[in-house]
Structure 1
Amino acid sequence: MPRYRLTVEYDGTAYNGFQAQAEQPTVQGALETAIHAFSGEQIRIAAAGRTDTGVHATGQVVHADLARAWPTATVMNAMNAHLVHEGVCVLDCALAPDPEWHARFSAVGRAYRYRILNRQAQPVLERSRVWHVRKPLDAEAMHTAAQGLVGQHDFTTFRDVGCQSKSPIKTLDVARVERHGDEVHLVFEARSFLHRQVRSMAGTLVEVGLGHWTAEDIETALAARDRSACGPVAPSAGLYLTGVRYA
């Protein structure tokens, strides 16, 4: 039974997250429906990350086990033909490097980008794809403060109360804040993240950009290991899973 590795892009606006849910539109549901439509097989796929409602992806990775050995180009093109009316598409399809390879458990790194539109005028074309912050943000101050989050820490402060991870200890490899014209981008990279960790860090760093918090406040919040010490949680619209790294 061949295992296929799919790189997937999606606009999460119309979906109740990635994970399949009964009678709810999800990214997983759309992908599995497309697989059934062209192959006749009803299967369950696995993903590198289960993104929340409204979160997007430009580099999500999933795997699918199919009974028949289809050409990889056929799998990609056939799925996209059945996804044409969905906010999902398959960017690439390849055979998994070995039978034990797993989209989630074989991953050694994940990258997220958070987009903030920082101008007075509201977004029109990308209303559901950015967080609109009208007041000027100091991206340099945000970047400096973000460095206090890099490394191995107990991220309880930035962990959603419903997080099911066994441990709040994670190692954040990259935390970068960059201005690109009217947009401020926050880039985070780690082996794995806690539930809503990225949105919690992004929302808190915006408080620095607005001048409400300092870099020292970020360090104090992290050290508190207390969810109540977290700043506002950024909305889902600006978050993108941009890539998954494998050894």
Structure 2
Amino acid sequence: MTSCKVRYLIFFQYYGSKYSGVTKTPPHQPGQGVQNYLEDAIRRLRPVNEVCVSVSSRTDAGVHALCNSAHLDLQRRGDLPPFPEEVLTDAINYHLKPEPIRVIKACRVPEDFHARYQATGRTYLYRLMTGVSHHAQLPVFESRLCWPLRHADLDIEAMQAAGMVLLGQHDFSTFRALNSDTPFKSPVKTLLRAEVTVGQDSFTPHSFRRGMRCWELTFQSRSFLYKQVRRMTGAMVAVGLGRLTLSRLQELLEARDSLAFPQNMSAPPDGLFLKRVDYEDSDLSSCSRDLEIKP
């Protein structure tokens, strides 16, 4: 009797500053992707089959994830039974040490389940810290986890209005990176959420922030174009700083041309987090739905 091959869906998080992104890179490349480390950890479980982790949502170099997802197949040697979900989670995490990557949860799914194509939505969070007059002033626990802005005040109402301009179904070609490696992917996306809120409390007490304030931009859609969130964030911040008008933002959207996007307006990767990936309840019958984790 031989063990059967089982497909698992895993939810995982990572501190992205040290990685080239989430996707796997060739062994000779200096910077490795999060996928490289996940697959190495799973190989140490000595499965019969070749290890291949299929990640649902791409993130760039320096971008973090509170909750990304991927599917993988595992067949154990001999007649060993499939890994229980909690055991698999703990085993992968054991072999990931000391990397800042952690599997949050694993669950068995049908053999034809696909983490990317069956995702029904993705939510990204971008964190800003205003009133940072010098980089040395930024609290140590916020380093590379936010975009520090020297300006103490942002016109939040104008930024909310900018989000309303972007909401709905549009051709977001202007907000796709020039070097996109998926040029034939449809640029038409439906943005369901684009809002600005006061940021969650961080590890740094308010008394030590010296006039600094945290803000969060949240974007939700079924899927996004390459670097779309960073470009939308940069445009909304430019509106909040008075450097871009709402009418000009509308013109950029309608231009449907990535070359029309102003140079140096895209937000840096440090403050960007993939917050969650959603699936139908029926696809996650053995998983808890409460996987939202706050920074």
Q: Does the TM-score normalized on the shorter chain lie above 0.5?
A: yes
Matches within 5 A, 1:18-167: 18-23=22-27, 24-40=31-47, 42-68=50-76, 69-96=82-109, 98-120=110-132, 121-135=137-151, 136-163=153-180, 164=182, 165-167=184-186
Show the counterpart of 2:6.
2
> Following TM superposition, by how much is the alpha carbon of 1:20 offset from its aligned partner in structure 2, in angstroms?
0.7
The CA deviation string for residues 113-158 of structure 1, in whole angstroms up to 9 with x for no partner, is 0111112233422211111111122222111111110111111110
The CA deviation string for residues 75-113 of structure 1, in whole angstroms up to 9 with x for no partner, is 1001111112001000111111x2211110111111100
Gaps of 5+ in 2: 77-81, 200-211, 281-295
> Following TM superposition, by how much is the alpha carbon of 1:220 offset from its aligned partner in structure 2, in angstroms?
1.3
* Structure label with greater radius of gyration: 2
Matched positions, count: 246
| Alpha-carbon separation, structure 2, partners of 1:58 and 1:178 | 18
Show the counterpart of 1:222.
253
**TM-score normalized by the length of structure 2:** 0.80
Contact 2:47–2:75 at 8 Å: present in 1 too? no
Coordinate RMSD, CA, aligned: 1.4
Identity fraction in percent: 39
Contact 2:56–2:70 at 8 Å: present in 1 too? yes
> Following TM superposition, by how much is the alpha carbon of 1:40 offset from its aligned partner in structure 2, in angstroms?
4.5
| Alpha-carbon separation, structure 1, partners of 2:122 and 2:9 | 16
Say yes or no: does 1:188 pair with 2:219. yes
Q: Output the amino acid matched with 1:172.
A: L
> Following TM superposition, by how much is the alpha carbon of 1:174 offset from its aligned partner in structure 2, in angstroms?
0.8
> Following TM superposition, by how much is the alpha carbon of 1:73 offset from its aligned partner in structure 2, in angstroms?
1.1
Show the counterpart of 2:188.
169
> Following TM superposition, by how much is the alpha carbon of 1:169 offset from its aligned partner in structure 2, in angstroms?
1.0
- Higher strand proportion (structure 1 or 2): 1
Q: 2:276 aligns with which of 218, 225, 243?
A: 243
3-state SS, counterpart of residue 212 of structure 1: coil
Contact 1:7–1:91 at 8 Å: present in 2 too? yes
| Alpha-carbon separation, structure 2, partners of 1:208 and 1:245 | 30
3-state SS, counterpart of residue 39 of structure 1: coil
Gaps of 5+ in 1: none
| Alpha-carbon separation, structure 2, partners of 1:171 and 1:190 | 6
> Following TM superposition, by how much is the alpha carbon of 1:58 offset from its aligned partner in structure 2, in angstroms?
0.6
The CA deviation string for residues 26-83 of structure 1, in whole angstroms up to 9 with x for no partner, is 1001110110112345411111111110110011011110013111111100111111
| Alpha-carbon separation, structure 2, partners of 1:182 and 1:235 | 18
Contact 1:141–1:208 at 8 Å: present in 2 too? yes
